[in-house]
Structure 1
Amino acid sequence: MSTEQIPPGEQSGNRHGRAGRARQDRHHPLAPPEWLLRGLRPSSAPIPWAAAARAGIAMAAPLAVGFAVDEPEYGALVSMGALAGVIGDTADAYRMRILNIAVPQFFGAVGVALGTLVYGRGWLAVAVLTLVALVSGMISSIGTVASVSGLLLLLNAVVGAGLALPQPWWTAPVLLTAGGLFVLLLSLLGWPLRGRQPERSAVAATYRAVAGLLDAAGRPAYEEQRQAVTQALNQAYDLLLGRRARAHGRSPSLVRMAAQLNAVIPLVEAAPAAHLRGRPLPPEIPAAVRRLADAVAAGSTEPLVLDLPAPPAGVPSARAIDSAVRHAAGVVHEPDPDLFTVDDRLGRPAALRIRARRAARAALFSGASWRYGLRLALCIGLAQVLVSVVEVERSYWVALTVTFVLKPDFGSVFSRAVLRALGTAGGLVVAAAVLAEVPRGWWDVPVMAVLAALIPAFSAKGYAFQTAAITPVILLLSDLLSHSGFDLIRPRLLDSLIGCAIVLVAGYLLWPESWHTRIGDRLADTVDDAASYVARAFGPVGSEAALRAARTARVQARRRIYRDLADVRNEFQRALTEPPPTGARAAAWWPLVVAVERIVDATTAARVRVNHGAAPPGAAEVAGITAELRALAEAVRRHPAPPAPRTAPPPPQSAVLAPLHQELSAARTITAGPTPTAS
């Protein structure tokens, strides 16, 4: 995926050389380390204004009702349940919000019930919370919803075991669940009016991202736009197909949007071929795709008159782009696509029983599941033993901090511990002003509305910002339950620092996995997948039916690779926020992540050129490239840092695969670079 009109290997080295020199230039003896600065830089993600408004209403209204009926403690518990729903209110599609909010609320209710039953039971409470932490960690490895469910299970168990909640034991679970369901109700109010709007907007956003990709073809911005297209496609397919069970054939609107989304795939495939040509596309082409995006967003079926320039003769990539745009225009304006011809296999989940079996297997028999469960149980057990032996004011805050910080699927454990300490300190400044100046009572309602609205807004900017927003909210709710006022500030800071210290020592420094990062294994698996994709892209085909089946399998393989590469990018970005040696290893392998993306792009471009008239490569050449990629994957698995390149005689090169050979040369250049020190 070269981004300048120079050989890809040189371009890759230049980019990463410039990045390395820039990092060196910024280095100063008194400057904070780069991994810390990464976490403190606010994200460019837009503020979710609707979620902010829902958060303010969902958390302030229960307080108002509590004061109105003279039961402020009950109102505070409902608001506490609403806080969990606000944190989980991140889905776009309405049907996904039900899962994201309702399922974790059930686990949260179970957790607070268990905690309430062992409140004041001494070592029994320590044992129960340690066991709950083990279960919480193990189920967190299943998926996103399970991760939030495991988080709420443990958080509410800690709250129930550490705070004198209203009796009987079922009161707190009911009130907390009511708060979460109130958030769910508010988030679903627009469903009757907006129905499929989130899905339609996601498909339209994919078309706009592809238009940006075509705009960037032949220009330096191509790589960034390629990542935006991958993200848009992942989100759109997840919204359309990721949560459904048997909607295909019964929901014409959903099927039509799936057809429109599938129609953009030929454009995505043709874009690398146009980019490798090294010349910008005529502006009429991205403009036409943007008009298609507008039609998708509006649900229009009016035919679009395309004003496209004729593709130059003898240029396969130009013919591929022209054909893909016209095909997409035909599909976008088709009012009633045949329900049985729309291929939904690119993002369709497996059957429910298969997914349940996989989830159970992942939770019970996965090494990663047990490692995280034991890691979390160890830290929670240490926290509970510590506060049982040493008198610590508001001791349950220690275990709460451990739970929030020790979530590896939410980011780097080390940086989260440091950022949580910093975020808590910042939030305490706001909390101190609120507790000192705002009288308890009805004034808490508007203050809570403002503070709660900041949670979604700040969460979009980063973990430290989210912590700073949540801290004053939790302290205000704690004051309503305990009536401690300004005296909450000091123990909150002290307990948070103790919790962060436990995580840093027992959950990070003394945990072997922290020092033996597994990011290389994920990258190696992706390189192996790229080798399989090369073999599949130019494998032998027979009949017309076999040709269609091969193309479908090829598109599915390419989507899986790009989704996996997006996950690998996320893992590497988390690892880059770790201190050495993990951060150093991630930085050493990072250029290869970019190189693999370019290899996949070059393979797709070559396949497109062959489809539109270029001579296909020989079987021996394809086999040589596949073998070299598999050897590279094995080298990634064996070495903690890029090894010296494997020397081999160059295979005979066809014209159509010349860019792919250049990208492989770039990957070899990366592995030949200076090897960083790694313990």
Structure 2
Amino acid sequence: MQSRLAPPAWLVRTLTPQTAPIPWPAVGRAGVAMAAPLAVGLAAGQPAYGALVSMGALSGVIGDTADAYRMRVFNIAVPQFFGALGVMLGTIVFGHGWLAVGALTVIALVSGMMSTIGAVASVSGLLLLLNSVIGAGLPLPGPWWKAPLLLACGGLFVLFLALLAWPFRRQEPERAAVADAYRAVADLLEAAGKDSYDAKRQVVTQALDTSYDLILARRARAHGRSGPFVRLLSALNVLIPLVEAAPAAHLRGAPLPAGIPAAVRDLADAVETGNTGRPDARRDAEGPARSAPGHRPSAHASPAPSELAVDVALRHAATVVYETGPDPYNVDDRLGLPAALRIRVRRATRNVLLSEGSWRYGLRLALCIGIAQALVSLIAVPRSYWVALTVTFVLKPDFGSVFSRAVLRALGTAVGLVTAAAVLSQVPRGWWDVPVMVVLAALIPAASAKGYAYQTAAITPVILLLSDVLNHQGFALVVPRLVDSLIGCGIALIAGYLLWPESWQTRIGDRLASAVDDTAHYVETAFGPATDHASRTRQRRRLYRDLSTVRTEFQRALTEPPPTGTRAAAWWPLVVAVERIVDATTAARVRVNHGAPDPAPAEVEAVAFHLRELAVGVRSSDRLVEVRADLAGDEEGVLAPLRQEVSAARAITSPDP
């Protein structure tokens, strides 16, 4: 009986708090940024103006997710422009009935298509639609430019608070990201030959992605020639050979000497503190490298290729991290020079307009917003904007499963309404709103780090408190907001989920098949005579990044109810198998680089052929079928571990649906 009453596994996974640390600086900024405008508005006798500025600050708080200061400018300032544009368009159509329905439907289409471009564009599209809905559903102070200006001031106030320490911590976030990447690699090398290796590799992939995103974003504006920037990029680039050597050390099956990860952690400390450029520090760092993997017990003993690879990579990293003057014209990155802004905008626009996925999501969001607005136009729903707001939050494609988000939105709103009911019924409006807002706003970044349901529970009382400052409805706001949220969740589930087959059928097999195809190409280029090391490195980094995206998609699918969640769980072993194939390919290439004989071209072609055959099988069915792979080759050659991984991947079988 107890097992029958237990919640389903997908709901437990969805409600489990994430282990991400609480961003305490963002917590402090949120409390100040949202409470200060209320205090100023009350002091000036215009509490409604203060509430609008706080609403704009709420948008900035939600977008305040970056560590690097240059990224904060884009993450907060750019979405604020679209948010101001949205509230202006909503204000124009306020009270115009079906014209407002049509306008919001078109805005939803544009917003949905924008959301498929990237992270900043996603938040921009979200604020464009959200503020359009607010402007079309709430009577805001006139003239038409006043509400957009007040909302923008709130977002810019958050940006101002976020940039206060920039003159004193100009490069600290980037240094911290690169240092974290070094520490992640140290943990990976420490896990070589152990069961925890695969989990540590995922951490390394994420750390490298974060570091390169920050460094490349900075490079697009610094032109790659400033001394501190060149040093950081050089330190990040020389970490790649260590990452490449790790799979070879892991496949060897024996743990590395403890001095290896310790030396890498010393380099991490040097990068983070800026303690570089000193010859004595370089000698201290090269000491562990000199005595660990390259240590020879006798004159006749020689290190294995994997040991030699780690030794060479660590020595090179120590040399570059502690060099006194890096050459600014000899710095390259592993993902390519960022294109000019106009080129990226043109490319993104073309991709959005020609992408089937972009149009599909835009039309799905437009349909749901159109239904929500038409419903509240035909049926008298007090403060009906909340229905469309709920639809917008639930249907964010890059935030996770639509189904689970609808469930979490309903649960989070219910919990948030309990808090709101206590505040609206017990706290008198006026100056008491300021300390209450400090506490409630500070909870938003803290709760957002734990998951969507927790974020919703934190945002709900804040929005209701600000709405009450504007409309003075008090406790009467609580029950209608719950009803509106349930209506919005219902529209999103029916019109945005059940009516679209790709929402509940597992379509992530296409992305996985593409990753398998790319892996086959990587196997060919890894041992091709015409491919240089830099090209192989860039291809491997892109492949790992794609696999990280595939892994994220599968993790989202696991939160879906059956059959989607069940199918995703059955396919999960293949995701891990493909990652291991990439590792085995990199390890084989490293062994060849350090003295092992080259594999025969026929062996390479056979492995690539079997991988492409596997990709065809994945793409042509919605479940895996058993395929016995007969991969012959030199059992003592460098490709023997790779053939074993490919055979294991092709032997994976999913249960019958």
Task: Compute the TM-score of the two structures, normalised by the length of structure 2.
Answer: 0.96
Q: Distance in 2 between matches of 1:366 and 1:103?
A: 23
**In the alignment, structure 1 residue 518 sits paired with structure 2 residue 498:** no
Q: Distance in 1 between matches of 2:523 and 2:132?
A: 50
Asked if 2 retains the 8 angstrom alpha-carbon contact of 1:617 and 1:654, the reply is no
Asked if 1 retains the 8 angstrom alpha-carbon contact of 2:521 and 2:608, the reply is yes
The match for 1:386 is 375
Supply the AA of the counterpart residue of 2:118.
G
1:461-480 to 2 correspondences below 5 Å: 461-480=450-469
- Of structures 1 and 2, the one with the larger relative CO (CA 8 A, separation 6+) is 1
The match for 2:579 is 597
The match for 1:420 is 409
Deviation at 1:553, TM superposition (A): 0.5
Asked if 1 retains the 8 angstrom alpha-carbon contact of 2:395 and 2:492, the reply is yes
Q: Distance in 2 between matches of 1:550 and 1:148?
A: 39
Unaligned runs of 5+ in 1: 1-25, 542-548
Q: Which of these residues, 395, 404, 410, is aligned with residue 384 of structure 2?
A: 395
The match for 1:128 is 103
Q: Structure 1 residues 27, 319: CA separation in 2 closer, same or farther (over 3 Å shift)?
A: farther
Q: Distance in 2 between matches of 1:368 and 1:165?
A: 36
Supply the AA of the counterpart residue of 2:655.
T
**In the alignment, structure 1 residue 338 sits paired with structure 2 residue 327:** yes
Deviates more, 1:354-363 or 1:293-302: 354-363
Deviation at 1:581, TM superposition (A): 2.5
The match for 1:21 is none
Q: Distance in 2 between matches of 1:594 and 1:553?
A: 24
The SS at the match of 1:498 is: helix
Instruction: Note the alpha carbon deviations across 1:65-84, whole angstroms, 9 max, x for none.
Output: 00000100000000000000
The match for 2:306 is 317
Asked if 1 retains the 8 angstrom alpha-carbon contact of 2:60 and 2:156, the reply is yes
The match for 1:437 is 426
Q: Structure 1 residues 586, 348: CA separation in 2 closer, same or farther (over 3 Å shift)?
A: farther
Instruction: Note the alpha carbon deviations across 1:138-181, whole angstroms, 9 max, x for none.
Output: 11111111111010000000000000000111110000000000
Q: Which of these residues, 491, 497, 502, is aligned with residue 480 of structure 2?
A: 491
Supply the AA of the counterpart residue of 1:110.
L
The match for 1:256 is 231
The SS at the match of 2:230 is: helix
The SS at the match of 2:167 is: helix
Asked if 2 retains the 8 angstrom alpha-carbon contact of 1:242 and 1:347, the reply is no
Q: Which of these residues, 33, 43, 46, is aligned with residue 71 of structure 1?
A: 46
Q: Which of these residues, 411, 428, 431, is aligned with residue 400 of structure 2?
A: 411
Asked if 1 retains the 8 angstrom alpha-carbon contact of 2:628 and 2:647, the reply is no
Asked if 2 retains the 8 angstrom alpha-carbon contact of 1:141 and 1:362, the reply is no
Q: Distance in 1 between matches of 2:324 and 2:429?
A: 59
Asked if 2 retains the 8 angstrom alpha-carbon contact of 1:242 and 1:348, the reply is no
Asked if 2 retains the 8 angstrom alpha-carbon contact of 1:624 and 1:651, the reply is no
1:482-631 to 2 correspondences below 5 Å: 482-541=471-530, 550-631=532-613
The SS at the match of 1:556 is: helix
Count of residues in Structure 1 that have an aligned counterpart in Structure 2? 643
Q: Which of these residues, 96, 119, 129, is aligned with residue 94 of structure 2?
A: 119
Asked if 1 retains the 8 angstrom alpha-carbon contact of 2:334 and 2:537, the reply is no
Q: Distance in 2 between matches of 1:647 and 1:295?
A: 48
Deviates more, 1:593-602 or 1:238-247: 238-247
Deviates more, 1:30-39 or 1:273-282: 30-39
Q: Distance in 1 between matches of 2:483 and 2:540?
A: 50
Q: Distance in 2 between matches of 1:359 and 1:294?
A: 38
Q: Distance in 1 between matches of 2:466 and 2:76?
A: 21
Q: Structure 1 residues 348, 581: CA separation in 2 closer, same or farther (over 3 Å shift)?
A: farther
The match for 1:235 is 210
The match for 1:148 is 123
Supply the AA of the counterpart residue of 1:594.
V
The match for 1:365 is 354
Supply the AA of the counterpart residue of 1:637.
R
Q: Distance in 2 between matches of 1:451 and 1:373?
A: 33
Q: Distance in 1 between matches of 2:631 and 2:583?
A: 24
Asked if 2 retains the 8 angstrom alpha-carbon contact of 1:269 and 1:608, the reply is yes
Q: Structure 1 residues 402, 207: CA separation in 2 closer, same or farther (over 3 Å shift)?
A: same
Asked if 2 retains the 8 angstrom alpha-carbon contact of 1:137 and 1:372, the reply is yes
Supply the AA of the counterpart residue of 2:606.
G
Deviation at 1:648, TM superposition (A): 4.2
Q: Distance in 2 between matches of 1:243 and 1:284?
A: 33
The match for 1:348 is 337
Q: Distance in 2 between matches of 1:609 and 1:513?
A: 43
The SS at the match of 1:70 is: coil
Q: Which of these residues, 280, 294, 297, is aligned with residue 255 of structure 2?
A: 280
Instruction: Note the alpha carbon deviations across 1:294-343, whole angstroms, 9 max, x for none.
Output: 01011112233213233452411111111111110000001321011111
The SS at the match of 1:391 is: coil
Q: Structure 1 residues 674, 521: CA separation in 2 closer, same or farther (over 3 Å shift)?
A: closer
Q: Which of these residues, 169, 174, 178, is aligned with residue 203 of structure 1?
A: 178
Asked if 1 retains the 8 angstrom alpha-carbon contact of 2:580 and 2:645, the reply is yes
The match for 1:92 is 67
The match for 1:172 is 147
Supply the AA of the counterpart residue of 1:30.
L
Deviation at 1:27, TM superposition (A): 9.5
Deviation at 1:649, TM superposition (A): 6.0
Deviation at 1:410, TM superposition (A): 1.0
Deviation at 1:280, TM superposition (A): 0.7
1:631-646 to 2 correspondences below 5 Å: 631-646=613-628
Deviation at 1:247, TM superposition (A): 2.1
The match for 2:26 is 51
Q: Distance in 1 between matches of 2:66 and 2:324?
A: 28
**In the alignment, structure 1 residue 667 sits paired with structure 2 residue 649:** yes
Q: Which of these residues, 449, 469, 474, is aligned with residue 460 of structure 1?
A: 449
Supply the AA of the counterpart residue of 2:49.
Y
Deviates more, 1:651-660 or 1:159-168: 651-660
The SS at the match of 1:28 is: helix
Supply the AA of the counterpart residue of 1:148.
V
Deviation at 1:345, TM superposition (A): 4.3
Instruction: Note the alpha carbon deviations across 1:504-532, whole angstroms, 9 max, x for none.
Output: 00100111221333210110111111111
The match for 1:447 is 436
Identity of matched residues, %: 69
Supply the AA of the counterpart residue of 1:420.
R
Asked if 1 retains the 8 angstrom alpha-carbon contact of 2:56 and 2:154, the reply is yes
Instruction: Note the alpha carbon deviations across 1:236-273, whole angstroms, 9 max, x for none.
Output: 00000135425234322111100000011111011111
Instruction: Note the alpha carbon deviations across 1:585-604, whole angstroms, 9 max, x for none.
Output: 21121111100010000011
The match for 1:159 is 134
Asked if 2 retains the 8 angstrom alpha-carbon contact of 1:528 and 1:633, the reply is yes
The SS at the match of 2:597 is: coil
Deviates more, 1:577-586 or 1:258-267: 577-586
Deviation at 1:351, TM superposition (A): 2.7
Q: Distance in 1 between matches of 2:359 and 2:134?
A: 24
Q: Distance in 2 between matches of 1:493 and 1:515?
A: 26
Deviation at 1:651, TM superposition (A): 4.5
Asked if 2 retains the 8 angstrom alpha-carbon contact of 1:243 and 1:349, the reply is no
Q: Distance in 1 between matches of 2:638 and 2:409?
A: 52
The match for 1:10 is none
Unaligned runs of 5+ in 2: 297-301
Supply the AA of the counterpart residue of 1:59.
M
Q: Structure 1 residues 361, 27: CA separation in 2 closer, same or farther (over 3 Å shift)?
A: farther
Instruction: Note the alpha carbon deviations across 1:386-417, whole angstroms, 9 max, x for none.
Output: 11111112211000000010011111000000
Q: Distance in 1 between matches of 2:35 and 2:336?
A: 39
Q: Distance in 2 between matches of 1:32 and 1:329?
A: 52
**In the alignment, structure 1 residue 222 sits paired with structure 2 residue 197:** yes
